[in-house]
């Protein structure tokens, strides 16, 4: 494998990563505007109103940033683990389709024709450009899956007897999970929203579109988490001279996430009419099941820390933690993310119990929750690991690592403050997705305003952090491209047992995943169809 073809592959990966970062940078700036507007510290002009900004923030951060980054990461892992001369046509096709979709959706949002938020709940009716663009973004990721799976198949055909490398296994499993999940949103778009927004159908079945959306919406968050897990398992151990705790456990974790991410989505619809209590209850039970791969990951990450520390002669919980390479920004970012993820996990357990959810549904508590899951663990992992990946992809070294370290600290502190304040405001009843939350001097609202102000302070720190990241990246881009550093992934500890070959048959696991999704959704969807609900005409209310 020569350096030239590696450089060609790097360009594709860099295109994904830089697009992801550009989206996040714009998204973060918009996030600050929201936080300031809610606090009453600024008022937004009519031509750039709160809900247009909030739609852009959700789409850019939750859909564009995460998706492009994970596509770049999985492509890089798969290409490096299967060195061969390959055509990049499929890879670039995917990139351009995703980019085209993003530009279409962004245009619709920024021109004010799609202030429907990133959940685009019908019957709010956006311009067809928005729905078609978002669908293209998803279709592009299917092409990425085809590329990854094609490489994995090439390996099994041309190197019989060789196991699927761990990073390829994780990447392909992540994208298979994603594919099964996106079938829901694709159906929502193609059969309902797109024809309706084009005026071909007069009304839309609102509850059906909502259930299809949440069929996709929950695994969407696991897609982000699996991207972070790919980094935690396969890249981080190198920074502390460690190894992956267990080959078999890592594969099993990804497969369990494939199985359990989808049949849980009704926990987002606890407070909705039209869905019988029994189905909601069933999804509560399965939701708690998704905890298993996450507690396995918590164990594996800590075991990997500890085993490496012991090899270095360090023992004890606090000494092990202190021994870790906290001055390396590529380690510190993801590690800070893990710390915040503990709170994310606890909050998730609260949200999943319907009695508690009734108190926090659609309050700022929920916004606090996902900033402490995707906004911190996932974003910090991706930003941190960029300090390792980007210089290697460019053939240079990181510019100003101290500044990079300061970036991880400020993000950690800023997100800590902002999401704590958001959780708190939510407990006091402050609604989410709402511009002015003072309710014109209401005394109930007065109770949560201090927290809304604290959230804005956290937001200011976060934007400074984002700027630090951009400065470090620009500096790194301007470094001479002379040093090519190797890009390797961590290898597992010696196994106590030979890993079972069944772990490598991703297709069979996918079949079980589809069966579980059908079991969980066939009933409630059938009942919704049987209800012969009235359609809703749809309107533009902004």
Q: Which is nearer to Cu ion, 279 or 388 (CB)?
A: 279
| Stretch touching another protein by CB under 8 A, among 14-22, 91-99, 373-381, 526-534 | 526-534
**121 CB-near residues (< 8 Å, 6+ apart):** 206, 209, 210, 213
Contact with another protein (CB under 8 A) among 105, 207, 330, 517: 207
Nearest by Cα to 17 from 471, 382, 476, 420: 382
218 is catalytic: yes
Using CB under 5 A as the criterion, which residues of the chain lie in contact with Cu ion when the complex forms?
A: 218
Could you give the angle at which helices 247-260 and 506-530 cross, rounded to 10 degrees? Answer: 20
Give me the phi and psi of 385, to 5 degrees please: -70, -20
In degrees, rounded to 5, the angle at the alpha carbon of residue 383 between the alpha carbons of residues 82 and 54 is 120
Residues in 412-431 at the binding interface with another protein, rule: CB under 8 A: 428-431
**Residue 452 touches which of Cu ion, ligand HEM, another protein, none (Cβ within 5-8 Å per kind):** none
Both tokens of 197, joined, read 């927004």
Contact with another protein (CB under 8 A) among 437, 462, 503, 510: 437
Choosing from 52, 218, 283, 361, the catalytic residue is: 218
Q: Which is nearer to another protein, 22 or 307 (CB)?
A: 307
Both tokens of 147, joined, read 């590329």
Residues in 260-289 at the binding interface with another protein, rule: CB under 8 A: 269-278, 280-281, 284-285, 288-289
**Residue 428 touches which of Cu ion, ligand HEM, another protein, none (Cβ within 5-8 Å per kind):** another protein
369 is catalytic: yes
Strand, helix or coil for residue 193: helix
CA distances (Å), 180 to each of 187, 221, 353, in order? 11, 14, 26
Residues in 97-126 at the binding interface with another protein, rule: CB under 8 A: 115, 117, 121, 123-124
Q: Tell the smallest beta-carbon distance from residue 148 to ligand HEM (Å).
A: 23
**Residue 218 touches which of Cu ion, ligand HEM, another protein, none (Cβ within 5-8 Å per kind):** Cu ion
Residues in 472-491 at the binding interface with ligand HEM, rule: CB under 6 A: none
Nearest by Cα to 259 from 289, 288, 234: 289
Q: Which is nearer to ligand HEM, 258 or 421 (CB)?
A: 421
221 and 260 in contact (C-beta within 8 Å)? no
Q: Tell the smallest beta-carbon distance from residue 139 to ligand HEM (Å).
A: 22
**Site pattern 8..47 for ligand HEM (x: CB under 6 A):** --------------------x--xx-xx------------
Q: Which is nearer to ligand HEM, 20 or 390 (CB)?
A: 20
Residues in 369-398 at the binding interface with ligand HEM, rule: CB under 6 A: 370-371, 374-375, 379
Contact with ligand HEM (CB under 6 A) among 15, 208, 466, 503: 466
Q: Which is nearer to another protein, 30 or 180 (CB)?
A: 30
Alpha-carbon span 121 to 102, nearest angstrom = 19
Contact with another protein (CB under 8 A) among 435, 464, 467, 475: 435
Alpha-carbon span 432 to 271, nearest angstrom = 15
Contact with another protein (CB under 8 A) among 21, 23, 30, 51: 51
Residues in 114-133 at the binding interface with ligand HEM, rule: CB under 6 A: 117-118
Q: Tell the smallest beta-carbon distance from residue 463 to ligand HEM (Å).
A: 6
Both tokens of 322, joined, read 């202190």
Q: Does 367 bind ligand HEM (CB under 6 A)?
A: yes
Q: Does 299 bind another protein (CB under 8 A)?
A: yes
Alpha-carbon span 53 to 185, nearest angstrom = 23
**Residue 444 touches which of another protein, Cu ion, ligand HEM, none (Cβ within 5-8 Å per kind):** another protein
Q: Does 498 bind another protein (CB under 8 A)?
A: no
One DSSP character per residue, 201-247 reads: SS-B-HHHHHHHHHHHHHHHHHHHHHHHHHHHHHTGGGGGT--BS-H
Instruction: Please provide the size of the chain in residues.
Output: 542
222 is catalytic: yes
In the 3-class helix/strand/coil scheme, how is 100-117 assigned residue by residue? HHHHHHHHHHHCCCCCCC
Q: Does 251 bind another protein (CB under 8 A)?
A: no
Q: Which is nearer to Cu ion, 219 or 334 (CB)?
A: 219
Choosing from 51, 331, 370, 382, the catalytic residue is: 370
Alpha-carbon span 65 to 148, nearest angstrom = 20
CA distances (Å), 352 to each of 251, 279, 296, in order? 26, 14, 19
Q: Tell the smallest beta-carbon distance from residue 410 to another protein (Å).
A: 30
Q: Tell the smallest beta-carbon distance from residue 379 to ligand HEM (Å).
A: 4
Q: Tell the smallest beta-carbon distance from residue 402 to ligand HEM (Å).
A: 21
Both tokens of 188, joined, read 């929502």
CA within 13 Å, CB half, 236:
29
CA distances (Å), 341 to each of 255, 271, 368, 517, in order? 21, 26, 12, 26
**284 CB-near residues (< 8 Å, 6+ apart):** 267, 352, 353, 354
Q: Does 416 bind ligand HEM (CB under 6 A)?
A: no
Both tokens of 285, joined, read 């039970």
Indicate the burial class of 433 (C-beta count within 10 angstroms; 0-12, 13-18, 19 or more).
middle
Residues in 47-86 at the binding interface with ligand HEM, rule: CB under 6 A: 54, 57-58, 61-62, 65-66
Q: Which residues bind ligand HEM (CB under 6 A)?
A: 28, 31-32, 34-35, 54, 57-58, 61-62, 65-66, 117-118, 367, 370-371, 374-375, 379, 432-434, 459, 462, 466
Annotated catalytic sites, by residue?
A: 218, 222, 369-371, 432-433
């Amino acid at each position: 494998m020569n350096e030239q073809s590696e450089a060609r592959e790097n360009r594709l990966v860099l295109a994904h990563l830089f697009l992801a970062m550009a989206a996040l940078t714009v998204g973060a700036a918009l996030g600050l505007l929201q936080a300031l507007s809610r606090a009453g510290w600024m008022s937004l002009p009519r031509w750039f109103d709160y809900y247009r900004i909030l739609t852009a923030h959700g789409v850019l951060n939750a859909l564009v940033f995460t998706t492009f980054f994970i596509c770049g990461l999985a492509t890089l892992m798969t290409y490096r683990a299967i060195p061969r001369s390959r055509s990049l046509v499929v890879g670039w096709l995917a990139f351009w389709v995703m980019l085209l979709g993003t530009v279409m959706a962004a245009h619709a949002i920024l021109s004010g024709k799609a202030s429907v938020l990133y959940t685009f709940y019908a019957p709010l009716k956006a311009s067809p450009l928005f729905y078609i663009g978002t669908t293209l973004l998803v279709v592009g990721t299917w092409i990425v899956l085809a590329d990854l799976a094609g490489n994995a198949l090439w390996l099994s055909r041309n190197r019989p007897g060789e196991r699927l490398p761990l990073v390829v296994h994780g990447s392909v499993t992540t994208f298979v999970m994603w594919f099964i999940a996106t079938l829901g949103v694709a159906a929502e778009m193609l059969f309902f929203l797109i024809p309706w927004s084009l005026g071909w159908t007069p009304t839309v079945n609102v509850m059906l579109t909502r259930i299809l959306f949440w069929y996709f919406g929950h695994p969407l968050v696991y897609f982000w988490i699996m991207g972070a897990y790919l980094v935690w398992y396969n890249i981080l151990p190198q920074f502390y001279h460690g190894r992956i705790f267990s080959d078999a456990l890592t594969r099993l974790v990804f497969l369990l996430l494939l199985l359990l991410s989808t049949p849980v989505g009704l926990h987002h619809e606890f407070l909705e009419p039209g869905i019988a209590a029994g189905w909601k209850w069933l999804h509560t039970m399965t939701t708690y099941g998704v905890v298993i791969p996450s507690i396995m990951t918590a164990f594996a990450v800590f075991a990997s820390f500890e085993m490496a520390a012991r090899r270095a002669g360090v023992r004890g919980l606090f000494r092990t933690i202190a021994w870790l390479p906290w001055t390396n920004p590529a380690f510190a970012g993801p590690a800070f993310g893990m710390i915040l993820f503990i709170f994310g996990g606890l909050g998730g357990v609260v949200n999943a119990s319907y009695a508690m959810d009734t108190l926090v549904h659609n309050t700022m508590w929920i916004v606090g929750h996902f900033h402490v899951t995707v906004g911190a663990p996932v974003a910090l992992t991706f930003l941190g690991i960029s300090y390792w990946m980007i210089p290697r992809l460019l053939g240079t070294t990181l510019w100003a690592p101290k500044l990079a370290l300061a970036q991880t600290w400020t993000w950690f502190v800023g997100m800590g403050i902002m999401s704590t304040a958001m959780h708190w405001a939510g407990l006091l009843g402050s609604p989410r997705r709402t511009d002015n939350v003072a309710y014109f001097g209401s005394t109930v609202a007065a109770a949560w305003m201090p927290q809304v102000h604290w959230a804005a302070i956290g937001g200011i720190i976060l934007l400074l952090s984002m700027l630090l990241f951009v400065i470090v990246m620009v500096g790194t881009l301007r470094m001479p491209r002379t040093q090519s550093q190797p890009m390797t992934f961590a290898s597992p500890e010696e196994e106590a047992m030979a890993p079972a070959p069944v772990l490598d048959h991703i297709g069979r696991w996918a079949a079980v995943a589809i069966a579980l999704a059908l079991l969980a959704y066939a009933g409630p969807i059938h009942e919704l169809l049987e209800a012969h609900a009235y359609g809703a005409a749809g309107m533009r209310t902004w």
